[in-house]
Amino acid sequence: MVTAAEHLERLAVALDAAGWTVDRRYDGTPLVRVSSSKAPHIGESIGVVI
């Protein structure tokens, strides 16, 4: 079974490749924080429910 963190890591790799800023937060509830380098103070946190 694939974990939430593994799903998020695949997403993070793809977003990194597309030029987004990605902050991985896998301690506790796994999250990926995504923002633009042009507006780093604005972003979205993404989680996965399995």
- Looking at residue 40, its pLDDT comes to 87
Q: Write the pLDDT tens digit of every residue in 1-49.
A: 999 999 999 999 999 999 999 999 999 899 999 999 899 899 999 999 8
CA 27 – CA 31 distance, rounded (Å):
9
Our CA dihedral for 22, 28, 29, 35, rounded to 10 degrees, sits at: -20
Token couple for 25: 């937060």
Closest of 24, 23, 21 to residue 38, by C-alpha: 21
